[in-house]
Amino acid sequence: MALDFTKMDGLIPAIVQDAVTRRVLMLGYMNEESLKLTRDRGLVTFWSRSRQKLWTKGETSGNYLTVREIIEDCDHDTLLIKALPSGPVCHTGSDTCFSEVNDPAEVTSSEFLFYLEEVIKDRREYPQEGSYTNHLFSRGLNKIAQKVGEEAVELIIESKDDNKNLFLGEAADLMYHFLVLLAVKNVPLSEVIDVLKGRHSRSDTGCIARPEHELLPEQNNAFLFLGGIVIACFLDHSLFVSSMHESKAFFRLANA
């Protein structure tokens, strides 16, 4: 069904939402021409009621709104536009026209993981030249899985020393690559959290309930091998170093 531009003298309201953070950014109005330009150019373009002219958001400030998705409402007289802002949206300098903060640095740690997950998904759907995330996606599942394994081993190495900054850096690298692996497997982070929730129990013993899982022989061997590396790093540094050489052969075998 076609959009109804008759209710407001040729205009319809367009709500703009950050495609990643889901924060509502602003409200503008579009006519048929501005909507066509928005679709054709991929940049949000409105009809200015005060100036009686077309205007592309950001044409003066440089803070454009790059379109990711356009959704019609049930009555076909309002639009929801999901977009990526390249800077503050409001003319006052605020992140949004509703004086809300839309800065990922201001969210909680857990919220930031979900934000990062959305950024990774956006990179996969809308590749950007020079993006490391897109470079990983281009290499495929096996290479991404291998990279997760390498980052895990690097974290284990840093855990042997007392440099907290290096340890945190390796931990962050592992978490990032893990999120990329989830994305390529089309598994949302929330499903992993659901599994953790299912294993959590506030029993009198304070133990964490873990479901029984029967591993295939090759899976069991892989887990035992990697588990041996982890144990070795705590028991004997020289043994751990030798295990590192074995791990390279393991990863080559796993990704052949």
One domain, residues 200 and 240: yes
pLDDT recorded at residue 106: 82
**DSSP letter for each residue of 63-93:** --EEEEEEEE-TTSS-EEEEEEESS--STTS
Q: What percent of the chain has pLDDT over 90?
A: 68
In this predicted structure, what is the pLDDT of residue 245?
Answer: 42
Query: Which pLDDT belongs to residue 105?
Result: 79
Q: pTM for the whole thing? A: 0.64
| 116 and 232 assigned to the same domain | yes
What is the mean pLDDT of the segment spanning 126-133?
93
pLDDT of residue 1: 63
Q: Is 117 found in the same domain as 243?
A: yes
pLDDT in tens, 147-198: 999 999 999 999 999 999 999 999 999 999 999 999 999 999 999 999 988 8
The domain in which residue 225 lies consists of: 109-254
Q: Are 31 and 95 members of one domain?
A: yes
Q: Which residues make beta-bridge pairs with 46?
A: 55
Residues 6+ positions from 101 with CB-CB distance below 8 Å: 95
Structural domains counted in the chain: 2
